[in-house]
């Protein structure tokens, strides 16, 4: 799964991963300001590192528009994403670390994980396809299968489906969901929602739950066919 002889550093890997994540949100090149905001640094600091990525053949600059990863840069980013999500799952399953803590630990360990240890972790976990937050884990040959999902906040009363994924960037959100007993794989139906961007009222099996604001935006779901016969929800498959 080697990405070739690249002068690697944590900063280079962090930039490649950040550009990759932002590219997934739009077909446009990634702007310096967007990249700086994601990394929590100043736009001036970004410019110098982007020059280095360009010299390494990991990115290309689009004049007056932003930056794109090259194929080499994309493979590097996906490799780090694989490390990160495998580590999150290993920490959650093998070490029973709460899902709101695994992201921060994986952010550090992803940069030092060897190819041999990566393979051992994957085999130990049964070559998994999803991390604890429902994010897809790239394959060993760096293929990433992104499922089509919708934001929970976009749903209307009567919609039903399965909660499949949530951002791991906010530990408080994850702790709140855990406290509510809600996890990826849980089925739900939307009972009602308040107008003007108000909260949604959901049923997870026999449990009623109110979800609104940032949390509804962060939760991704797969909808069931509205023409299919409805089954009684039991919370989790």
pTM: 0.87
CATH code assigned to 150-223: 2.30.30.90
Domain edges within the chain: 1-146, 150-223
Each residue's pLDDT, cut to its tens digit, for the chain (237 residues) gives: 444 445 579 999 999 999 999 998 888 999 999 999 999 999 888 988 999 999 999 999 888 889 999 999 999 999 999 999 999 999 999 999 999 999 999 999 999 999 999 999 999 999 999 999 999 999 999 999 988 899 999 999 999 999 999 988 899 999 999 999 999 999 999 999 998 888 999 999 889 999 988 899 999 999 987 666 556 555 444
For helices 43-55 and 10-23, what crossing angle results, to 10°? 100
CB distance 144 to 125 below 8 Å: no
Burial 46-64 (b: 16+ CB within 10 A, else e): beebbeebeebebbebeee
Q: Return the CATH architecture of domain 1-146.
A: Orthogonal Bundle (1.10)
Q: What are the tokens at 143?
A: 């293929």
Cα(87)–Cα(106) distance, integer angstroms: 6
């Amino acid at each position: 799964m080697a990405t070739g002889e690249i002068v690697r550093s944590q900063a280079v890997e962090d930039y490649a991963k950040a550009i990759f994540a932002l590219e997934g949100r739009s077909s446009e090149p990634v702007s310096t300001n967007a990249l700086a905001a994601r990394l929590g640094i100043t736009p001036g600091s970004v410019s110098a590192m982007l020059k280095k990525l360009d010299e390494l053949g990991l990115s290309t600059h689009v004049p007056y528009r932003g930056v794109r990863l090259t194929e080499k840069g994309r493979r590097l980013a996906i490799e780090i994403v694989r490390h990160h999500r495998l580590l999150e799952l290993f920490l959650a399953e093998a070490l029973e670390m709460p899902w709101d803590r695994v992201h921060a630990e994986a952010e550090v360990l992803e940069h030092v994980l060897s190819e041999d240890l990566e393979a051992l972790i994957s085999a130990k976990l049964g070559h998994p396809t999803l991390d604890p937050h429902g994010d897809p884990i790239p394959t060993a040959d760096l293929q990433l299968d992104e499922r089509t999902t919708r934001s929970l906040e976009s749903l209307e009363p009567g919609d039903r489906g399965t909660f499949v994924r949530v951002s791991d960037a906010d530990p408080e959100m994850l702790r709140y969901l855990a406290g509510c007993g809600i996890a990826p794989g849980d089925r739900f139906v939307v009972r009602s929602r308040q107008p003007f961007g108000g909260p949604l009222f959901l049923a997870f099996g026999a449990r009623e739950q109110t979800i609104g604001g940032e949390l509804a935006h962060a939760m991704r779901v797969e909808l069931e066919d509205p023409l299919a016969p409805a089954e009684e929800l039991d919370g989790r498959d």
